[in-house]
Amino acid sequence: MKPNPLKAALTQNRQTYGSWVTLAHPLIPEILAPAGFDWLAVDMEHSSIDLSSLLPLIISIEANNMVPLVRVGENSPNLIKRVMDAGAYGVIVPNVNTPREAEDAVNAVKYPPGGARGVGLYRAQQYGRGFEEYKTWLEQESVVIVQIEHIYAVRNIDAILETPGIDAFIVGPYDLSGSLGKPGVFDDPEVDQALKQVMDASKRHNVPAGFHSVPADPEAARKKRAEGFRLLALSLDSIFLGDAACNALSRLKEEL
C-alpha cells in the first residue's frame, strides 16, 4: 500500500480537509476529487453502504489520490478487520466513551503485539504477496480516529486521548448535543462548554481534533478551523448534490 499522507499530517498537526461519502457508487469519489480533498470517509454508520459496496469506493478514493477512511457502524473487531483488509487506510470509530473502548478500536486495527487483529490475506495484503510489507505499513501508516459524541466521552476525554495508538478524534456534534438533551442546539452554553473541554484536552495531549461541519458552507467550516480543528470534514456528497440542484433551479425560476 502507498504511504499515508494523512498519518504524516496528523503527526505534524497540519490542517487537512475531507468529506463524507454516503452514496454507494464509485463515481462519487471521482466527482469529488477535483475539489482537492485530502481524504474521504465512507460512512457505514448512517447510510446503506455495506461491505459489498465498500470495496469499489475504497479503490476509487485511492485511485483519485485521496486517503480512504471508513466510519464503521460500530466498534466491532470483525467489522474493522474486514474494512482494513479491504484496503482502508484507517477507521473512524463511533461512540467511543471510555478508554477501554478506545483500546478496543486500536486492537481491532493493529496486528499483535500492538493489537489483536486477526491475520488474513486479502486486498490490503496484496492477496498474500505483500503481507510482510503490509505488516510494516500497518504499524507505521494506519490511522485510528475515535468519535467523541457523548457527554460520557467528554468526561473521560483525558483517559481516551492517552490511549496508545489513537491518532486523532472527531467530534460528533449532533449526537453530543443530543446526549445533553439538546440535539442540534449547538449554541447552547452546556454544549459549548463540552466542546471547550474536548479542545482543551486535545491541546494537553497533542492529539489532533476533528469536526464534521455538515452544511456545504465554507464559512461554518472556517469557524471550526479557527477553533483549532485540524481534521476538518466539509459536508457530504448528498448535501453537495442537493444544495447545488436546489440553488441552481431556484435561481433559474427567479428569472421568470
Catalytic site includes residue 46: yes
In the DSSP assignment, the letter for residue 111 is P
What's the CA gap between 45 and 21, in Å, rounded?
11
N-terminal to C-terminal alpha carbon distance within the chain: 54
Write out the three cell numbers for 182.
439538546
What's the CA gap between 203 and 208, in Å, rounded?
8
Which residue from 55, 52, 51, 44 is spatially nearest to 20, judged by alpha carbons?
44
Q: Are 61 and 80 in contact (CB under 8 A)?
A: no
In the DSSP assignment, the letter for residue 178 is H
**What are the residue ranges of helices labelled H in 91-236?**
99-109, 131-141, 151-155, 157-161, 173-179, 189-205, 218-226
What's the CA gap between 43 and 93, in Å, rounded?
11
Strands 67-71 and 231-236: unpaired
The active-site residue out of 25, 46, 205, 212 is 46
Cβ-based neighbours of 72, under 8 Å, separated by 6 or more: 44, 45, 79, 80, 83, 91, 92, 93, 94
Transcribe 115-127 into DSSP letters: --PPP--STTTGG
Q: Which residues are catalytic?
A: 46
